Amino acid sequence: MLYGIIADIHGNLEALSAVQAFLAERGVERLLCLGDIVGYNADSDVCVRLLARPPTLAIAGNHDLIAIGRIGTERCGTKAAFALRRTRVALSADSKRALALLPRRRLIEGEIVLIHGGVADACEYMVSPAHIEANALLLREHEPSGRICFFGHTHVQALYEVDAGVATPRPTGERISLGRGGRCFFINPGSVDAARRREKLAELALFDSSRQEISFHRVPYEHERAERRAAEGGYRMTWLDKRVVAARAALAHLRPRWR
């Protein structure tokens, strides 16, 4: 089957729409979503309606879990935590119910595993071979048949090959053959939302499970419109918001001295 692999949409409908058009042109048969459907941008409800139900197979990311109160914002940056507070208020009851049904991990075709951050921790950033090696051991424990593990969260396209417990980064590009055998692979398709990147392109990957081929892609979208609507919706910190956050942090730092 030809799969479209996406992650970290963060309520960015402009970017998601561009990705869906790209996938339709290529005859993608099934969409796999690695979580963080909601978050930084203005259209979390619409993105949930498009992605949190069949025929898409999705899992929950840390932003999805925070939005429904399953976990807190302690491990988020200031801007992410600010946007998520707005997301919690704006998200509809139907969207929250749909997100609550998403698993944190999926196994497909007996060997394809979907996770968001790490195998056992949706908030873990896997950004080095050491992280991948540790998670390859966890993958063997939790999903023994898993050989191809798709993950998100870092907003960076990546391909790691794991052979005899050693993880090696491989170049990303088009028409990369994974082959078969004892090796396993950890693959990040990048992020649909590009707000955190200098290059404002939505990222995704295509995976042909019959040919065992992966390809990485980037597509343009209406970034300025998405940013404008996010600011209008209250998902971006104003200068006053930043001052308030800084003042609260300073007070929190001083409190121990007052005791």
Q: Residue 114 is encoded by which pair of tokens?
A: 């979907």
User: For 81-136, how does the pLDDT look when each residue is reduced to its tens digit (9 = 90+)?
Assistant: 999 999 999 999 999 999 999 999 999 999 999 999 999 999 999 999 999 999 99
pLDDT class for 250, splitting at 50, 70, 90? low
For residue 17, CA distances in Å to 20, 29, 31, 138, 220 come to: 5, 17, 13, 35, 10
pLDDT class for 246, splitting at 50, 70, 90? low
Residue 248 predicted with pLDDT over 70: no
Strand-pairing partners, residue 217, are 204
Rounded to whole angstroms, the Cα distance separating 207 from 74 reads 34
**Average model confidence (pLDDT) for the chain?**
93
pTM of the predicted model, to two decimals?
A: 0.92
The phi, psi pair for 167, rounded to 5°, reads: -95, 130
Instruction: Report whether the peptide linkage leading into residue 55 is cis, meaning its omega lies within 30 degrees of zero.
Output: yes
Query: What average pLDDT does this structure show over 38-42?
Result: 95
Rounded to whole angstroms, the Cα distance separating 128 from 60 reads 23
Q: What is the pLDDT of residue 54?
A: 86
> Are β-strands 2-6 and 112-114 bridged in parallel, bridged antiparallel, or unpaired?
unpaired
- Amino acid symbol at 164: A
Query: What average pLDDT does this structure show over 25-35?
Result: 96
User: For 152-197, how does the pLDDT look when each residue is reduced to its tens digit (9 = 90+)?
Assistant: 999 999 999 999 999 999 999 999 999 877 799 999 999 999 998 8
Rounded to whole angstroms, the Cα distance separating 189 from 36 reads 13
CA 169 to chain centre: 20
Rounded to whole angstroms, the Cα distance separating 207 from 4 reads 7
Q: Which residues contact 256 (CB under 8 A, 6 or more apart)?
A: none
Q: Residue 145 is encoded by which pair of tokens?
A: 């048949």
Rounded to whole angstroms, the Cα distance separating 233 from 161 reads 41
Task: Outline where 105-238 has alpha helix (H).
Answer: 129-142, 223-232
Q: What is the pLDDT of residue 258?
A: 46
Q: What is the pLDDT of residue 253?
A: 62
